[in-house]
Amino acid sequence: METQNKPAGPTRVETDSMGEMTVPIDAWYGASTARAMDNFPVSGHRVPGRMIRALGLVKLAAARANGGLGILDGRIADAVATAAEEVASGALDAHFPVDVFQTGSGTSSNMNANEVIANRATEALGGERGSKLVHPNDHVNLGQSSNDVFPSAIHVAVLEALVQDLRPALLVLGKALDAKARQWNDILKLGRTHLMDATPMRLGQEFSGYASMLEHSVARVDRSCKPLEELAIGGTAVGTGINTHPDFARLVCRHLSELTGLSLHEASNHFEAQGSRDGLVEVSGQLRTIAISLSKIANDVRWLASGPRGGIGEITLPAVQPGSSIMPGKVNPVICESVIQVSAQVIGHDAAVAQAGLGGVFELNLMMPMMAYNLLESIRLIANAARMFATKAVAGLEANPERCRSLIEQSLAMSTALALAIGYDRAASIAKKAHQTGRTVREVAYSESGLDPAAVDRLLDPVAMTAPNSTRVGSGA
């Protein structure tokens, strides 16, 4: 018997091709899983639930395909399918204890699924757990290899997470931002570039930009799904399809499409599908971009809400918790800060996934479990952050129109509109004098521009500055 850390409590003995291992008597996994637990005590992070579900779905589809092709006994095929369906439901997640940082092909997790399903199917057929009446390799893994199962499962897991979790969350946030853009279309405020005062704009225009960023984010999700619809299943060990039926992959993809509602198909080139993980690297890059978008919006919102007396204060964030353990009454933009931290984490995940993309060596990528973990974690974090930001911050934002108007009138950038009538240099001179004397551009222009007050007021109408106008064309700032 192999040396191992013995489990606490009652045990049974299971075997794999390397010998015997003891496992907890109530565990559904077997020797290969126990061996992996012994070998990889690294992080304590298990393979994510969505990956376990996807492995169950692949095994379910494979059992149906093999049964339909007549190469797996019908009773065994049905029992395997039923057990795999149970795995896919999440009911057996506790029996998937293998660490994320395991064999780079995901073989340990594939065998974990094979063993759990085999033992469940064995008992369903009246056999004893561990007897291998249903064999984890010969029956559950029939026509398959970890090398095509695991990348196929990653694609299914990431696709489901993108479609079911991330896309709806981004739509919720986009809708909240668009509602503010429409609500605040008539509120004039000061624009800012380089953190400095710029020309007037509408608060609604600013938030329409944020809403548009979410539209682009949703489009990025949609684009990133396409490469993942190709599955490696059918390539077995190196992409040649050794030990599998020629129709197996097509049938598995058909069953998986029916089970998930996704549009899945066999890879056009199995050697690319197993040797490279470029599609996952592409998805990760899109997730990074989406996270950066959310961080930009959250950062802008906290700046616009800064204060309440010493900052910009054009909008007010909902107060969700006390902000200081020492300063009474202080309320901080904590929801925005959480979103910004999520963005930083996702950028880190993307760096890891990019490095994992370099792990394709000849016919197989050897960093797949880590890729799966980081991608699914990024999707989970962004989706949760987007919903939190929408419901706990954006939905409760309030505008401060009087503060917005006051900052516009005090801005030196108002001089931009004067350049239409008196030229850039004279307008700049008026702006400088306004700054030196503490007066507004309007007040200095009345006496220094050579224009009558009515003309000055027409030029300095902030509403007219918020859109192009063929009668107001001149130098930029």
Q: What is the pLDDT of residues 52-70, one digit of tens each?
A: 999 999 999 999 999 999 9
Give Cα separations from 48 to 51, 90, 232 (angstroms). Answer: 5, 11, 20
Handedness of CA 301, 304, 307, 311 (dihedral sign): positive
* pLDDT number for residue 7: 78
pLDDT exceeds 70 at position 334: yes
**Class of domain 148-401 as given by CATH:** mainly alpha
Look at the domain 411-466 and name its fold: Ribonucleotide Reductase Protein R1; domain 1 (1.10.40)
pLDDT exceeds 80 at position 239: yes
Task: Give dist(CA 233, CA 110) in Å, integer.
Answer: 13
Using alpha carbons only, give the angle 86, 88, 89 rounded to the nearest 5 degrees. 65
What residues does 12 pair with on adjacent strands?
23
Q: What is the DSSP letter of 45?
A: P
- Distant-in-sequence, close-in-space partners of 256: CB < 8 Å, separation ≥ 6: 57, 58, 61, 156, 231, 262, 264
How far is it between the farthest Cα atoms of the chain? 101
Residue range 332-343: mean pLDDT, rounded: 98
Structural domain spans, the chain = 11-142, 148-401, 411-466
* pLDDT number for residue 9: 87
pLDDT exceeds 60 at position 373: yes
* pLDDT number for residue 1: 42
pLDDT digits (tens, 9 = 90+) for 260-318: 999 999 999 999 999 999 999 999 999 999 999 999 999 999 999 999 999 999 999 99
| 372 neighbors 47 (Cβ within 8 angstroms) | yes
Gyration radius of the chain's alpha carbons: 30
Q: Which secondary structure element, helix H or strand E, spans residue 193, and what is its range?
A: strand 188-193
Task: Give dist(CA 290, CA 296) in Å, integer.
Answer: 10
Task: Give dist(CA 333, CA 320) in Å, integer.
Answer: 9
Task: Give dist(CA 475, CA 428) in Å, integer.
Answer: 12
Catalytic annotation, residues: 194, 324
324-353: b or e for each residue (b if 16 or more CB lie within 10 Å)? eeeeeeebbbbbbebbbebbebbeebbebb
What residues does 15 pair with on adjacent strands?
20
Closest CA to 320 of 330, 331, 309: 331
| 281 neighbors 287 (Cβ within 8 angstroms) | no
pLDDT exceeds 50 at position 252: yes
pLDDT band at 401 (very low <50, low <70, confident <90, very high): very high
Residue range 437-452: mean pLDDT, rounded: 96
Give Cα separations from 450 to 101, 384, 462, 464 (angstroms). Answer: 75, 58, 20, 21
One-letter amino acid of 149: V
- Tokens 């007050």 -> residue: 453
Length of the chain: 477
pLDDT mean across residues, the chain: 96
Tokens at 311, concatenated = 């900052």
* pLDDT number for residue 324: 87
Tokens at 330, concatenated = 């202080």
Look at the domain 11-142 and name its fold: Fumarase C; Chain B, domain 1 (1.10.275)
Residue range 427-446: mean pLDDT, rounded: 97
Give Cα separations from 128 to 131, 132, 135, 389 (angstroms). Answer: 5, 8, 12, 51
| 134 neighbors 125 (Cβ within 8 angstroms) | yes
Residue range 309-336: mean pLDDT, rounded: 94
pLDDT exceeds 60 at position 476: no
Give Cα separations from 379 to 166, 226, 286, 325, 365 (angstroms). Answer: 6, 17, 11, 33, 22
pLDDT exceeds 50 at position 477: no
| 308 neighbors 316 (Cβ within 8 angstroms) | yes
3-state secondary structure of 200: strand
Tokens at 301, concatenated = 């919102």
* pLDDT number for residue 472: 74
* pLDDT number for residue 3: 62
Task: Give dist(CA 115, CA 402) in Å, integer.
Answer: 67
- Tokens 């993108």 -> residue: 162
Residue range 99-104: mean pLDDT, rounded: 98
Q: Which secondary structure element, helix H or strand E, spans residue 16, and what is its range?
A: strand 11-16
φ, ψ at 191 (rounded to 5°): -80, 160
For a pLDDT cut of 70, what percent of the chain falls above it? 99
Residue range 210-237: mean pLDDT, rounded: 98
Using alpha carbons only, give the angle 254, 256, 258 rounded to the nearest 5 degrees. 70
Task: Give dist(CA 258, CA 164) in Å, integer.
Answer: 16
Residue range 200-216: mean pLDDT, rounded: 98
Residue range 164-188: mean pLDDT, rounded: 98
